[in-house]
Structure 1
Amino acid sequence: MSPVLKTVQTTLSLNKLSSSNYPRKEKKLLQHGSCSFPINNVQLSFRGGFEVVSNVNRSHKEKTCLYDEGELEALPHVQTLREFPREELVAKVVMVRFDSTILLGEKLDLSSQSASKALYTIKYLHECGAKVILMSEWSRKINPKLLDAQAVADILSSVLQLNVIALRCISCKSPLRREDLQKADIFLLENLSEYKEEVANCSKFAELLSSEVDILVNDSFCQSHKVLASTVGVARFCYASMAGFSFEENLHQLKKIAKTKKKPYLAVIGGGNLKRNAAALQFLASRCDALVFVGQMSFQIMRALGHSIPTNLVERDAHKAALDIVQFAHDKNVLMSYPKDFWCTNQHLPTELEVFPAHGVSASWLPVDLGPRSLEEIYSLVTNSKKIIWIGPVKFSSSKPCTVGTSKLAQMLCKQSQCECEITIVGSTACKVIKNESNSLSSFNVLENASVVWEFLKEQKLPGVMSLDRAYPFEIDWSVAYHDASLPLVVDIGSGNGLFIMGMAQNRKDLNFLGLEINGKILYWFKCNNDIPFHCLQLPRRIGSCFSSGGACCKGR
């Protein structure tokens, strides 16, 4: 399988403000094409990397994406409920780890994609003839009606239009029995937040939860960055574990962040804790063409660029990390933008507001929102981007989560979403503001749990994802690979360059042969240097029980 390398280069002309005080470093790249975008007074070159496109003669369940820096091991191809055979669900006991923030909120929006997919996971399993056991954690903070398991069961019964029965087996420490499951088709376990064994991933607790359970369906993506007994632990005791429809959709949205096909790619970054999120910022700098800081982290970037900022805005031990990010972005030719002015409030007269330049905030004043020049620069960048991610709130030390600057940014993104721009919104605050401005999130890629996304951007493996079964990422038509797919199959594991299995195939016409080799380069080299016909299928590494990496199919003739 021969990959086709494409070099993408896009030139973006900006026109009003330079967002850094260091010279741009010119890089020589093979130019495939360029386009110019006018924005108020500054020149900026946006350069893209390589994209690998695989050409193979087989039908895909979904297109396989290989990114600039290689395949992301943090997001392997996992088994999903959508791909799992329906007949395998009949009469099985299926445990569903659902997201309480989606299904148990005080105001459930049934029109939202997250809610509809979460509900469909449960209804789909019920329609397939499975016994469904629901489990999650909940709190009266998200809904004051969540008094106990019975109250939650009543809410779920109303939402699903199906009878949900509350079970008491965790508190009694008594394993679930098959005869208990004859009372109904859908059951609910007790509140997991009441048990410390849940967050400790206690093996005995996980075994208790999974008693009589055949299959685990994880549909709580917001917990995928945590090691929990109800996700990671239970998976060890079930013969199959897979992603539900809501989990699968969130995983799909997460993968989109790493794709760099659309250029210019802009990252709008809010929030604080630069030191903790330094690895994530470098990941974004490696893929984006510009980083726009709109939160507390912007002060650390300004300080790293040589600007003076008030000492009360300095994040402890973050200076070196900020310097490294600035240097990394410089080396990658990535624009770094920070606020040029702020609305500030007087510490002694909180009702008094005044605009200060970013480098001239007086000691008795505190920044609370983005100033007009800052919003003008952000607007220039947003309106000339083809892909945008907004992660982290537009929030400063003493400001409220939803400021005027937040609303203005949301309005810019809503307008840009109508211009064939792919926009990803991360975090509950950003999602809420976008929904208020547009009344719908249908034009955006949405990931409401920012913690999961930050961990992914740090290139950390997500425990909730890694605990799921690996899945075969392709559908192969074996009738095309073999003249007679019904012949007995001989599998050569570790087939090397394929000479041995090729010799066997030539001598035994009554058999089909399949060679598995983890080193795809051997197969590629051998196929290019030998005039012997055979099918070569390059598969991702680590696909579990299906196969390891590559395979050669030899026709039995």
Structure 2
Amino acid sequence: MDRTVNPVQAPAFLNGSVFYGCPSAILRWAHPKCRSCFGKRLELTRRRLFAARGARLYLRGDLVAVDRVKKSSIEYETGYLCEGKSENFPHIQTLKNFPKEELSGKVVMVRFDSSILLGEKLDKNSLAVSNALFTVQYLLATAEKVILVSDWKREVSSKLLDSQSVSDILSSLLRRKVVSLKCLSCGVPFKRELLEEADIFLLENLSGFRKEVANCPEFSELLSSEVDVFVNDSFSLSHRVLASTVGISRFSPACVAGFQFEESLRELKRVLNTDKRPYIAIIGGANIHGKAAALKRLVSECDGVVFVGMMSLQIMHALEYSIPSTLLEPRSSDAAVEVIQSARYRKIPIITPKDFWCINDSPGYQIEVIPAHRLGEGWVPVDLGPRSLDEMDSLLSSCKKVIWIGPVKFKSSHSSICTDGASKVAQIVDRLAQRNCEIAIVGNKACSTMIKESRSSASCSVIENASVVWEVLKGRKLPGLLALDRAFPFKIDWTMAYRNPAQPLVVDIGSGNGLFLFGMASRRKDQNFLGLEVNKKLVRRCLDGVHQSGIPNGFFIATNATSTFRSIVSSYPGEVVLVSIQVIEKLPFCQPVKSSVS
């Protein structure tokens, strides 16, 4: 949200129990992690905090009020009811929009991406590195303490020996002393007293803990000890279920996306956008069986597909080319046939290589350009041939969007003899980018090749971890993304919702048919009343009722308040004086007690 937060200092009535003081009592409950903790989503309903019998729907109101509600209802129909249509990419809470005052005096944990900040060849001018560093620097300026956590391996960089060496690298990047903490291996939650030594700390290497990969609840709770806000800035791991990205969200009061995570998600959405036509996919890599669902989606969305690398051989075999069995993947035939049938159904072209640079299996390793139909004569492909590249160039010449996903790589151990095929593909794609064709590059090999060969790589959408994109193309959701707090997807114009938005606000979570709020709004003109209800049909009827009656101090929003409550009330310009809630199930962290409201 764009406005400054107004913390809820009002009592929240929860199934007969009342919590006072700070917003944490409310916000801890009205939070996505409650659903994961208790195994299923909490279903909300309306609780009558005041006697609602005899509540009447007053149909009187001046023309100004009617016009105000009519306009807000139109905005609601076109906007608010659209919430939740994109389940794969929910509207998440980001560090950029998270209220700074809620970071003040807090301990914040950042799950950073080691492949970005700890790489052997670190480019400080790259957008990814800049965003990752800015996340930490922003928190150092706003929070009290920052705890960094990640996993790293020697293959990422030879300098990564232990936590102390990583602390030294991060200290150099951040120009602040990063202190190494060893508490995870002991299995004992660290105390706040340990944080007096410095402002920023680094926990042990997570790759040394099996419980990290197993998403162990005990390990997740250990990670979250003394943590007030969790920031996930490791988008490249969002397709995996880890204790440090998913499990920790169950125990942290607030879970938000860092600046690098947010930018990577924005890039992913751009990569998957199919508005521009013609749209062609260049598909490399291997494992056609495991990627069959993703390939069929690409075929269903693109105007043509070009196969390169090992995957092209599986498609060629299904097209009845003679391919040596040593080059075929297990269980690839059925998947290749399904992809071909999908393309034929849509009447789009499937392009496979017409020739290859090949090595003969005879002594001396003679290298020649061999037509595709002669591969079964003892020739082993090591790279794309000139005809294949020319055909690709011709097909792509009129494209408005190209996605290149996967490496131009073959299985042969001699593929290093001739490896300029990927470079020439990058040059073709670069020429398209210079003609304002939208380019998306996915995968480490494709990205590194494009950076070397391209003069316009900065204008391309780039995602180095292809696994994330493949998972989304398969129709799967990203656990690391879904674990973050939700944000209400639209900016609420409170001046359209209420005649006087500065009045104290009463929020009814699970407002149902709205009779309770209608009755209260007609009695208490000095307060505004907001109903949050997950049932969109009920909300539409309530808004119609507000429109007809001209009530100036009542409004309804269709939303799942367990996830969007914070972002909605944070934008309200006045004071929130009361939040009413009823939960069908008994919550494990509170014992119901009798309470009354006068």
Query: What TM bracket, shorter-length normalisation?
Result: 0.7 to 0.9
Matching residue within 371, 387, 395 for 1:381: 395
- What one-letter code is carried by the residue in structure 2 that aligns with 1:425? I
Matches within 5 A, 1:346-495: 346-349=360-363, 351-398=365-412, 400=415, 403-438=419-454, 441-489=457-505
Q: Distance in 1 between matches of 2:89 and 2:201?
A: 31
Matching residue within 119, 123, 129 for 2:143: 129
2:189 is the counterpart of 1:170: no
2:558 is the counterpart of 1:544: no
The answer to whether the 8 A contact 1:542-1:548 is kept is no
The answer to whether the 8 A contact 1:100-1:138 is kept is yes
SS in 2 for 1:433: helix
2:224 — aligned with what? 210
Q: Distance in 2 between matches of 1:501 and 1:184?
A: 50
Deviation at 1:486, TM superposition (A): 3.1
Q: Percent identity?
A: 53
- What one-letter code is carried by the residue in structure 2 that aligns with 1:212? E
Deviation at 1:186, TM superposition (A): 0.5
Matching residue within 144, 160, 168 for 1:146: 160
SS in 2 for 1:117: helix
**156-165 vs 510-519, which deviates more?**
510-519
Q: Distance in 1 between matches of 2:283 and 2:558?
A: 35
Superimposed CA distance per residue, residues 25-61 of structure 1 (whole angstroms, 9 cap, x where no aligned partner): xxxxxxxxxxxxxxxxxxxxxxxxxxxxxx9759x9x
**343-352 vs 391-400, which deviates more?**
343-352
Q: Distance in 2 between matches of 1:118 and 1:73?
A: 26
Q: Calculate the aligned-residue CA RMSD, in Å.
A: 3.3
SS in 2 for 1:442: helix
The answer to whether the 8 A contact 1:471-1:543 is kept is no
Q: Distance in 1 between matches of 2:348 and 2:85?
A: 22
Superimposed CA distance per residue, residues 218-271 of structure 1 (whole angstroms, 9 cap, x where no aligned partner): 111121111111111212111001111111111111112332211111111001
Q: Distance in 1 between matches of 2:392 and 2:556?
A: 46
Deviation at 1:142, TM superposition (A): 1.7
Residue 547 to residue 242, structure 1, CA distance change in 2 (3 Å):
closer
Could you state the TM-score of these two structures normalised by the residue count of structure 1?
0.80
2:331 is the counterpart of 1:317: yes
The answer to whether the 8 A contact 1:541-1:548 is kept is no
2:194 is the counterpart of 1:180: yes
The answer to whether the 8 A contact 1:77-1:543 is kept is no
Deviation at 1:307, TM superposition (A): 3.4
Superimposed CA distance per residue, residues 443-496 of structure 1 (whole angstroms, 9 cap, x where no aligned partner): 111111111111111111111111111112121121222111134545566667
Q: Distance in 2 between matches of 1:487 and 1:460?
A: 44
The answer to whether the 8 A contact 1:342-1:367 is kept is yes
2:272 is the counterpart of 1:258: yes
2:31 — aligned with what? none
Superimposed CA distance per residue, residues 376-419 of structure 1 (whole angstroms, 9 cap, x where no aligned partner): 11112222111111110011221647821100010111121122
The answer to whether the 8 A contact 2:322-2:376 is kept is no
2:209 is the counterpart of 1:200: no
SS in 1 for 2:459: coil
Superimposed CA distance per residue, residues 488-514 of structure 1 (whole angstroms, 9 cap, x where no aligned partner): 545566667879977876787555444
Residue 286 to residue 386, structure 1, CA distance change in 2 (3 Å):
same
Matches within 5 A, 1:269-284: 269-284=283-298
Matching residue within 108, 121, 132 for 1:94: 108
The answer to whether the 8 A contact 1:266-1:387 is kept is yes
The answer to whether the 8 A contact 1:389-1:426 is kept is yes
Residue 497 to residue 205, structure 1, CA distance change in 2 (3 Å):
closer
SS in 1 for 2:221: helix
Higher relative contact order (CA 8 A, sep 6+): 2
SS in 2 for 1:316: coil
- What one-letter code is carried by the residue in structure 2 that aligns with 1:118? A
Superimposed CA distance per residue, residues 194-220 of structure 1 (whole angstroms, 9 cap, x where no aligned partner): 111111112222222221111111111
1:9 — aligned with what? none
Looking at secondary structure, tell me which structure has more strand per residue: 1
Could you state the TM-score of these two structures normalised by the residue count of structure 2?
0.75
Deviation at 1:173, TM superposition (A): 2.5
1:328 — aligned with what? 342
SS in 1 for 2:290: coil
**112-121 vs 393-402, which deviates more?**
393-402
Query: How many residues align structurally?
Result: 491
Residue 282 to residue 540, structure 1, CA distance change in 2 (3 Å):
farther
**266-275 vs 391-400, which deviates more?**
391-400
Q: Distance in 1 between matches of 2:208 and 2:434?
A: 45
The answer to whether the 8 A contact 2:284-2:407 is kept is yes
Q: Distance in 2 between matches of 1:321 and 1:127?
A: 52
**180-189 vs 257-266, which deviates more?**
257-266
1:109 — aligned with what? 123
1:231 — aligned with what? 245
- Between structure 1 and structure 2, the one with the greater Rg is 2
- What one-letter code is carried by the residue in structure 1 that aligns with 2:384? L
Deviation at 1:530, TM superposition (A): 12
Deviation at 1:183, TM superposition (A): 0.8
Provide structure 2 residue ranges, at least 5 long, that are not aligned to the other structure: 1-72, 569-598
Residue 71 to residue 277, structure 1, CA distance change in 2 (3 Å):
farther
Q: Distance in 1 between matches of 2:301 and 2:452?
A: 30
1:249 — aligned with what? 263
- What one-letter code is carried by the residue in structure 2 that aligns with 1:418? Q
Q: Distance in 2 between matches of 1:174 and 1:494?
A: 40
Residue 235 to residue 372, structure 1, CA distance change in 2 (3 Å):
same
Matches within 5 A, 1:515-554: 515-518=531-534, 520=536, 532=548, 544-546=563-565
Superimposed CA distance per residue, residues 258-305 of structure 1 (whole angstroms, 9 cap, x where no aligned partner): 322111111110011101001111221222221111121112222333
Q: Distance in 2 between matches of 1:540 and 1:380?
A: 49
2:38 — aligned with what? none
Q: Distance in 1 between matches of 2:278 and 2:479?
A: 32
The answer to whether the 8 A contact 1:225-1:463 is kept is yes
2:313 is the counterpart of 1:299: yes
Deviation at 1:71, TM superposition (A): 4.2
Q: Distance in 2 between matches of 1:350 and 1:74?
A: 53
**510-519 vs 195-204, which deviates more?**
510-519
**516-525 vs 287-296, which deviates more?**
516-525
**358-367 vs 95-104, which deviates more?**
358-367
Matching residue within 145, 157, 161 for 2:175: 161
Q: Distance in 1 between matches of 2:547 and 2:191?
A: 61
